[in-house]
Structure 1
Amino acid sequence: MAADMSLLPRAEDLDDLLERDRDDVLSVALATDPTTPENQAVRPAYLIWLENALRDLLRDLPSPRRRVARPLAQRVTAYVRTWKPAARGLALFAAPDLWRVYPVQVPLSNRVRFGLPDVTALLEALDACPPYAILAVDTRHARLAVGYLGNASLLAEETLDLHTEHWRQTAGRRPTAARRMGEGAGRGTQRDPFEARRRAHVQAFWEHVAAETARLLAERGLGALVVGGPEEAAAAVARALPPQARRALVGTVPLPRYEGLAELLQRTVQAAVEAERRRDRELVAGVLEAQGTRAVLGWPAVDEALRQRQAHLVVVEPSRLAHHPELPRLVRRAGARLELVHPDAAAPLAACGGIAAVLKSPSTSAG
């Protein structure tokens, strides 16, 4: 499904929310998948859940905070009542001078919170569907798209125009009948100059596509690439990628010609997700290996490392964010990075509460 990427949450948007020093934000995440029967009713399930959750939230707030939260809850409810669901998830952030709406094509967990901005649901979605580049290429066409949060958006498109009607069919001495028939395959056998010229143009096209793909990957900060197309084309472009872009290549998949963006996403997303899961497993293994020297395990140790600004990277299993909703804010303010890892990859961290931190090197901490 093609989408306007400007409507989707970016990492910078979440950072901006986390940086806001305020506790008057109503954060809402809803599972709005329009294909589920319960969301096709006149009063869809997500609206019923929202109304009940907001009623309970307002009831439990102290009176001064309830006066701030009530008009925000009314605005959110009015918006959701008239919203025509075309996305599987909806996130909203509302405050007296703040209003942000993010529809996403991945399921979100139902959540409501008033206070500090709660970006947990969006962080989980970003981990489940990390952004990646999709390159679909054949002998005449190439398209580069971004897959992100269940959407695909076209970045660039190239077409090879050969204009072969202006080419001479042969060059030099005409081949003998034996050569035309493919006989006498010794030294005298030569490829048809017309075909050789066509192949040279196609190879140059693939090399150009590889160079442009590398440029756009660097420009957009995309760290994963899936190449698809007929086997020969996909393999040729993969070989022609510059070293840094080749390191971003996580898979090649067979693709029919002229697939739409939705089909490209559907055929390539599994390769991207599997690559992310491999990365999660490697990350957790590295953390465990560094335990006792450059890594600490468990919430008390991680919390202390963050408050002392000693943490470089915090690794957490997504469900643990519900127990520590302040974690993204703490990580951001400590100058560290937060990495959510898939529950399967995080299994070795279960004994320490599914959370760990890699510490800064002594020279970095001293600086």
Structure 2
Amino acid sequence: MLHEAEHLLREFVAYVEDAERRPNVLSIYLVVDPAEPANQAETPAWQIYLRNALAEIENQLNPEQVKQWKTVRLSDTSEKTEWARTRLRLEAYLDSYLPQGKTLVLFVSAEQLLAYELPVRLRNYAHYGWMQIKDFLYAIDEYEQHLVVLFAQDKARAVNLFLGTSASDVTVNLDQTWQRKDSRKTAHEAQIARRQDELDRRFARYMADEINQLFVRERDIDRLILGGNVQLAHAVLAFLHPSVARKVISVVKIPFEAPPHEIAASIREIAHTAERDHELILVQDTISMAKGGKRAALGLSDVHQALDRYAVSVLILPYPIETPILAGIVDELLVKALHSGSQIEFVRGEAADLLLSEGGIAAQLYYSLPLESVR
């Protein structure tokens, strides 16, 4: 889901970068979650925010351009109608829009519109000018899908969760149960207990195959947690394909019948720790590579040079991003990175502190460059 969002964003960025004249883009983030009490009023809170945000933007524009949007045609290519066509394109989309997700993200220009509903809550925000993509990319990076598979003696249950930043911010994409096919008891079962181990192995192998296939179908799942009957969970882990087994971050004793919000509470700290550990290793490895003259760059100057040469495979930024080093240029860097096909990683906590002490921004490269930091 979020990977699809990133793909669509890359296409929109390509349009912005390839245009003869860089277009102004209306970037909008709206908390549209229908479960929010403020969005259940006759006029939902997100509509009120949007109306006020558009009025504030239009107060900074030429009044002649502002009043044109109700009469302009989208086929008009005049620069003087750029805002009017942008506003018209936005209004045409909103006319038939019905909220389904938690946050609606819109990038609108006079020629294009990209709309995507995220299953996570971001902040309300609106801006006209340079594309504001950092919050969208942060959501893609931070809100990874976690597949939790719980085992009981005769069945298994898979719950696919998006974890937000707060305990109440949870989205359930899947809650599926498999029944053990060989679980039917017989009058002689007590006498054939020696077969139980083989039956357990068969069930574990079957469940491992099901999980492997689920990862093939659902490529957005980033991490796997096994739980319930811990003995069965470890048995399944042994049968998982290596590429799937590498995504297992923990085996946890979670009650099989636990509701999704309790499952989310049980794994939140585990997921948080796994993400922070991954980020710290990434930053440590990148710094070591850069200082060793290998395929990495440290500091704004070197990273900028690498981006200009389309050499960046992974761009690494601290979060929050509003640091003196990156003030005013973050979205420009992100657009460049997306346009060149770079992966973008935001790091927090200890990893962010380490990155800030070593130049505030880093990148892993496709190939070595003669950079200032390694001379």
TM-score w.r.t. the length of structure 1 is: 0.76
Indicate which of 326, 329, 333 corresponds to 2:332: 326
Indicate which of 123, 148, 152 corresponds to 1:109: 123
Checking the alignment, whether the CA contact within 8 Å between 2:10 and 2:339 is kept in structure 1 is no
**1:79/1:340 CA distance change after superposition, 3 Å:** farther
2:342 is matched with which residue?
336
Structure 2's unaligned 5+ residue stretches are 66-79, 164-169, 323-327, 370-375
Indicate which of 202, 205, 215 corresponds to 1:204: 202
1:136 partner letter? L
* Range with greater deviation from structure 2 (303-312 or 258-267): 258-267
1:71 is matched with which residue?
88
**1:335/1:32 CA distance change after superposition, 3 Å:** closer
Trace 1:260-275 onto structure 2 (pairs within 5 A): 260-275=259-274
Cα deviations by residue, 1:234-290 (Å, 9 ceiling, x for unpaired): 232223333332221101222222344454444334422321111011111112222
Checking the alignment, whether the CA contact within 8 Å between 2:160 and 2:173 is kept in structure 1 is yes
1:60 is matched with which residue?
60
Checking the alignment, whether the CA contact within 8 Å between 2:230 and 2:253 is kept in structure 1 is yes
1:17 is matched with which residue?
12
Indicate which of 201, 212, 215 corresponds to 1:214: 212
- Helix, strand or coil: the match of 1:224? strand
State how far apart, in whole Å, the 2-side matches of 1:224 and 1:266 are: 16
Trace 1:150-299 onto structure 2 (pairs within 5 A): 150-154=170-174, 157-162=177-182, 164=184, 167=186, 169=188, 192-221=190-219, 222-292=221-291, 293-294=293-294, 295-299=296-300
Cα deviations by residue, 1:20-66 (Å, 9 ceiling, x for unpaired): 23525432112456677766666555444332322222233464233
2:144 partner letter? P
Checking the alignment, whether the CA contact within 8 Å between 2:31 and 2:124 is kept in structure 1 is yes
2:70 is matched with which residue?
none
1:224 Cα offset (Å): 1.8
State how far apart, in whole Å, the 2-side matches of 1:266 and 1:90 are: 26
Checking the alignment, whether the CA contact within 8 Å between 1:137 and 1:143 is kept in structure 2 is yes
Identity percentage over the alignment? 24
1:306 is matched with which residue?
307
1:76 Cα offset (Å): 6.5
Checking the alignment, whether the CA contact within 8 Å between 1:24 and 1:114 is kept in structure 2 is yes
1:27 is matched with which residue?
27
State how far apart, in whole Å, the 2-side matches of 1:323 and 1:46 are: 28
1:306 Cα offset (Å): 0.5
State how far apart, in whole Å, the 2-side matches of 1:247 and 1:75 are: 46
**1:111/1:353 CA distance change after superposition, 3 Å:** farther
State how far apart, in whole Å, the 2-side matches of 1:269 and 1:123 are: 21
Checking the alignment, whether the CA contact within 8 Å between 1:90 and 1:108 is kept in structure 2 is no
- Helix, strand or coil: the match of 1:250? strand
State how far apart, in whole Å, the 2-side matches of 1:37 and 1:323 are: 36
* Range with greater deviation from structure 2 (303-312 or 29-38): 29-38
**1:234/1:196 CA distance change after superposition, 3 Å:** same
Checking the alignment, whether the CA contact within 8 Å between 1:133 and 1:226 is kept in structure 2 is yes
- Helix, strand or coil: the match of 2:59? helix
Give me the CA root mean square deviation: 3.4
**1:261/1:283 CA distance change after superposition, 3 Å:** same
1:182 is matched with which residue?
none
2:372 is matched with which residue?
none
**1:132/1:155 CA distance change after superposition, 3 Å:** same
State how far apart, in whole Å, the 2-side matches of 1:99 and 1:66 are: 13
Trace 1:120-135 onto structure 2 (pairs within 5 A): 120-135=134-149
- Helix, strand or coil: the match of 1:358? strand
State how far apart, in whole Å, the 2-side matches of 1:125 and 1:333 are: 19
**1:76/1:289 CA distance change after superposition, 3 Å:** same
Structure 1 position 146 matched with structure 2 position 163: no
Checking the alignment, whether the CA contact within 8 Å between 2:106 and 2:113 is kept in structure 1 is yes
State how far apart, in whole Å, the 2-side matches of 1:351 and 1:57 are: 37
**1:343/1:56 CA distance change after superposition, 3 Å:** farther
1:178 is matched with which residue?
none
2:179 partner letter? T
* Range with greater deviation from structure 2 (218-227 or 123-132): 218-227
Cα deviations by residue, 1:221-241 (Å, 9 ceiling, x for unpaired): 444211121222223222333
1:330 Cα offset (Å): 0.7
State how far apart, in whole Å, the 2-side matches of 1:66 and 1:253 are: 53
Cα deviations by residue, 1:77-109 (Å, 9 ceiling, x for unpaired): 7678xx56x654222233456454433342213
**1:155/1:220 CA distance change after superposition, 3 Å:** farther
State how far apart, in whole Å, the 1-side matches of 2:286 and 2:61 are: 40
Max radius of gyration: which structure?
1
- Helix, strand or coil: the match of 2:330? coil
